[in-house]
């Protein structure tokens, strides 16, 4: 017999249906929890019948949804998989290089098993952590993953739960840690049945829909149990928590503090690090401050200000949220302070934003930074990658800077070879009204960013999804292969030279000349020297007696008295004396 439990305080009566068997009445317990037992072996389909309705509803905690998010759930034996990673002890976030990928577009086949065949590429690149975009059950067949509905189920078109376990197991066999992107701040289209059961949602709206009702203890437990499931049952090594600023929590301690405490306990139990990485728009170090000091105890947070500083400096874009970025002075500030807006006025927001970190107490590796990611590429109207927006020389400069900063670098899939494939927003909502509204909704979102909405492909067009898949044949092209070799050299250099991965923010300094468009990033005895100008020029190296060795150069770089002469749009990493 299998025990079933369901939180449904809004129901007057509940029935359980397993396969084609007669319905089993459920018993209501305290706090709106219903329970029943039935013969339901692994692989049996089941669902719930609410009050007098004969419409089968899925289990909110379903481990499998083989018929889609609104179809019957399926019993899944979590312990039947044969793991081979018994000696895996995990990887620390300090010194990490993260690679963000979307399973559906990483390979031509778009499944976990197809992705396994490409993992050796990541090992040869020097990646330590693979960050997988959300894999939960969503409306339709293909999706970014952020429209999650079945939070406990692995999306079947990607391969289902066993295939995800094979992927994690294969990563561990190659020394790769797996970070899973999870979404707890909203539910996607098709989740209306949750409100029929219980108050999962509350009044008020975030960017994406109704707010998650964190005032309800069972909802909080629903989230925490889900996080623990991925880490424990799927052997995932860490979680990236999407848009935590949209978690409006009236209770104390904050949900994130509760979550970090329980994950810390699980980490002690399994004997490996389980980092939590928050995506936060707040620019507030409370995310990574210790719980004992009133913080939330996250291990790291995404740092969009570093991305904005790099992107605006390299492309010249100043629209939307880039309006306060782009100068060398801003880049110099974020290298040491992590945030540009740390109590300063944000023109885009129209208010003072952020709070400063304490660089003497905060290690740089606790900030995850990037040149590109799914948001910054996919939330452009046309989904353009960086190589479409600036010159090849500046793209290479960006790579050098990203992998020389005192933060944790993250690459977006294909970035390492300057992939030409765009990665726009795509969906496959089967409901005609929802499908028709998706495109106009995106256009409305883009209005304040200044994107060319005329270039936006239809998110519902199957070709939009197909065209977003990486073209691995590009690696046969000399230009793409050359970029890949640069990334390999930079990642290897970062691993070999402790000064490049040193997270001591107090030891970082930047010299720059705004008018002449050059900068020098100080990394111990190493200097990262950049010429952004469109002509050759000499860049002074203060505080040194000269260049002892050029470790990497993206173009002509010649040591001269007191400095380095660089060709136009060239970066070099040198060891100084």
Q: Which residues are catalytic, by number?
A: 242, 279
Q: Is 240 marked as binding a ligand?
A: yes
220 known member of a binding site: no
Token output for 235: 């052997």
Residue 86 annotated as part of some ligand binding site: no
Q: Which residues pair with 530 in a beta bridge?
A: 519, 571
> Is residue 504 a known part of a binding site?
no
Q: Which of 243, 252, 57 minimizes the C-alpha distance to 134?
A: 243
Residue 481 neighbours by CB under 8 Å, 6+ apart: 417, 475
Q: At what angle do helices 478-496 and 392-402 cross, to 10 degrees?
A: 20
Task: Single out the residue of 117, 118, 155, 116 nearest to residue 133, CA to CA.
Answer: 155
What is each CA distance from 32 to 195, 197, 564, in whole angstroms?
Answer: 14, 10, 71
**Annotation-wise, does 375 bind a ligand?**
yes
CA distance 533 to 538: 11
Residue 252 marked in a binding site: no
Check whether 243 is labelled as a binding-site residue.
Answer: yes
Three-class SS of residue 173? helix
Nearest to 365 by CA among 23, 73, 96: 96
- Has 414 been labeled as part of a binding site? no
User: Is 429 assigned a ligand-binding role in the annotation?
Assistant: no
List, in order, residues 6 or more apart from 258 with CB less than 8 Å away. Answer: 220, 224
Q: Is 374 annotated as a binding residue?
A: yes
* 244 is annotated as contributing to ligand binding: yes
Distance of alpha carbon 321 from alpha carbon 495, whole angstroms: 33
Cis peptide, bond prior to residue 220, ω within 30 of zero = no
Alpha-carbon distance of 111 to 43, in angstroms, equals: 21
Q: Residue 245, annotated ligand binder?
A: yes
Binding-site residue positions for substrate: 240-245, 304-308, 374-379
Residue stretches of the annotated binding site: 240-245, 304-308, 374-379
């Amino acid at each position: 017999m299998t025990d079933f439990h369901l939180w449904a305080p809004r129901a007057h009566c509940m029935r359980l249906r397993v396969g084609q068997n007669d319905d089993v009445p459920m018993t209501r317990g305290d706090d709106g929890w219903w329970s029943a037992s039935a013969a339901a072996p692994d692989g049996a389909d089941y669902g719930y019948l609410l009050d007098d309705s004969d419409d089968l509803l899925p289990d909110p905690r379903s481990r499998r949804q083989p018929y889609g998010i609104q179809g019957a759930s399926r019993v899944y034996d979590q312990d039947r998989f044969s793991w081979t990673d018994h000696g895996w002890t995990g990887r620390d976030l300090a010194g990490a290089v993260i690679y963000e990928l979307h399973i559906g577009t990483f390979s031509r086949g778009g499944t976990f098993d197809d992705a396994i065949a490409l993992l050796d590429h990541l090992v040869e690149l020097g990646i330590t952590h693979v960050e997988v975009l959300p894999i939960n059950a969503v409306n339709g067949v293909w999706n970014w993953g952020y429209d999650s509905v079945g939070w406990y189920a692995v999306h079947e078109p990607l391969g289902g739960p066993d295939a995800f376990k094979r992927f994690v197991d294969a990563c561990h066999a190659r020394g790769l840690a797996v970070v899973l992107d999870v979404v707890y701040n909203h539910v996607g289209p098709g989740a209306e049945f949750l409100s029929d059961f219980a108050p999962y949602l509350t009044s008020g709206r975030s960017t994406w829909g109704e707010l998650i009702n964190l005032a309800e203890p069972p909802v909080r437990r629903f989230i925490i149990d889900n996080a623990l499931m991925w880490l424990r049952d799927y052997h995932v090594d860490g979680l990236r928590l999407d848009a935590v600023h949209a978690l409006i929590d009236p209770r104390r301690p904050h949900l994130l503090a509760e979550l970090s405490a329980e994950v810390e306990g699980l980490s002690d139990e399994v004997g490996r690090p389980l980092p939590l990485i928050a995506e936060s728009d707040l620019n507030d170090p409370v995310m990574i401050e210790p719980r004992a000091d009133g913080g939330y105890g996250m291990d790291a947070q995404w740092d969009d200000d570093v991305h904005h500083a790099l992107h605006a400096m390299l492309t010249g874009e100043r629209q939307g949220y880039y309006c306060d970025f782009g100068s060398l002075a801003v880049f110099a500030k974020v290298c040491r302070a992590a945030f540009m807006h740390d109590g300063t006025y944000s023109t885009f927001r129209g208010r003072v934003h952020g709070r400063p970190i304490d660089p003497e107490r905060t290690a740089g590796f606790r900030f995850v930074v990037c040149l590109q990611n799914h948001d910054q590429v996919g939330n452009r109207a046309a989904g353009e990658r960086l190589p479409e927006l600036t010159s090849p020389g500046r793209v290479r400069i960006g790579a050098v800077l990203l992998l020389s900063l005192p933060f944790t670098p993250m690459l977006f899939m294909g970035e390492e070879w300057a992939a030409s494939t765009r990665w726009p927003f795509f969906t496959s909502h089967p409901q005609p009204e929802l499908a028709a509204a998706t495109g106009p909704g995106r256009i409305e979102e883009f209005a304040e960013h200044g994107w060319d909405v005329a270039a936006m492909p239809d998110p519902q067009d199957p070709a939009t999804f197909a065209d977003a898949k990486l073209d691995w044949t590009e690696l046969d092209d000399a230009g793409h292969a050359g970029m890949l070799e640069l990334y390999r050299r930079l990642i290897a250099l970062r691993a070999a030279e402790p000064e490049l991965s040193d997270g001591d923010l107090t030891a970082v300094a930047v010299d720059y000349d705004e008018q002449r468009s050059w900068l020098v990033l100080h990394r111990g005895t190493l200097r990262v020297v950049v010429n952004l100008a469109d002509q050759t020029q000499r860049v002074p190296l203060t505080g040194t007696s000269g260049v002892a060795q050029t470790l990497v150069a993206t173009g002509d770089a010649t040591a001269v008295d007191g400095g380095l002469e660089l060709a136009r749009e060239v970066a070099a990493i040198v060891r100084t004396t």
